[in-house]
A and B are shown apart, each in its own frame.
Chain A
Amino acid sequence: QVQLVESGGGVVQPGRSLRLSCAASGFTFSRHGMHWVRQAPGKGLEWVAVIWYDGSKKYYADSMKGRLTISRDNSKNTLYLQMNSLRAEDTAVYYCVRDSIEVTGTLDYWGQGTLVTVSS
């Protein structure tokens, strides 16, 4: 079955960096675009970034543009999110999400999320 397992979250001081990982299994990772979506405490879902199935295109939310790098290693079935210059408002659960092939434009599998807390 499809599994997406995020890791790398934790408590980090403002201004520091963090790299999140998402280990994918149960499907052909290299065929799917992948997203990061986050949810701050008490807030709604916020789309963060997407990477094409082959890594050829990457797009970011304006709110974090310039501080993020999404990447993937298809040989390791792993998605990454490098976050720099972290701010208190980046505190959220970060979800790894698969782009559907069957229904274009939709998100069909979500990980359980990893909590990032930015605090001094």
Chain B
Amino acid sequence: SYELTQPPSVSVSPGQTARITCSGDALPKKYAYWYQRKSGQAPVLVIYEDNKRPSGIPERFSGSSSGTMATLTISGAQVEDEADYYCYSTDSSGDQRVFGGGTKLTVL
């Protein structure tokens, strides 16, 4: 079955840039989406179609994709950005969806 691979954890100091990667064989042809999930809350979409930011999401959140890797970048991370981040995409057929394993971002 198709998998998306993320690092389990990323840690930065406030104001630094956090980068969270997501690798998958179908990413050259399929979009990546990124969800932020804070403890006890529903996931929130922060990036869609590789690099688009939904309204209401701070500009410090950006996305990119190259080859088999998608990257979520948080420029000038804030303490309130601490959360689990999940990439989400589809397999090459477009039928099965898949989440990456999630990355716990620590900002301290």
Residues of chain A at the chain B interface (Cβ within 8 Å): 35, 37, 44-47, 50, 59-63, 103, 105-110
Chain B min CB distance to A94 (Å): 14
Chain B residues in the interface with A (C-beta under 8 A): 1, 31, 33, 35, 37, 42-43, 45, 48-49, 54, 84, 86, 88, 90, 95-102
Are A47 and B97 interface neighbours, CB within 8 A? yes
Residues of B within 8 A of A60 (CB): 96
Question: In the assembled complex, which residues on chain A have CB atoms less than 8 Å from the CB atom of B45?
Answer: 103, 106-108
Shortest Cβ distance from A108 into B: residue: B45
Tell whether, in the assembled complex, residue B54 and residue A61 are in contact, meaning their CB atoms are under 8 Å apart: no
Across the interface, name the chain A residue whose C-beta is closest to B95: A59
A110 near B43 with CB under 8 A, answer: yes
Bound state CA distance, A110 and B86, in angstroms? 15
Which among B1, B37, B99 has the highest number of chain A CB atoms within 10 Å? B99
Q: Is the interface of A mostly helix, strand, loop or mixed?
A: strand
Q: How far is the CA of A35 from the CA of B35 in the complex (A)?
A: 16
- B47 nearest CB neighbor, chain A only: A106
> Would you call A107 and B99 a contact (CB within 8 A)?
no
Q: Do B1 and A63 touch across chains, with their CB atoms under 8 A apart?
A: yes
- Out of B1, B96, B99, name the residue touching A45 (CB < 8 Å): B99
The residues of B that contact A109 with a CB separation of less than 8 Å are: 42
Q: Please, how many angstroms separate the alpha-carbon atoms of A99 and B14 in the complex?
A: 34
CA distance A107 to B84 in the complex (A): 16
Given contacts A61-B1, A110-B42, contact A46 B54 (CB under 8 A): no
A62 near B86 with CB under 8 A, answer: no
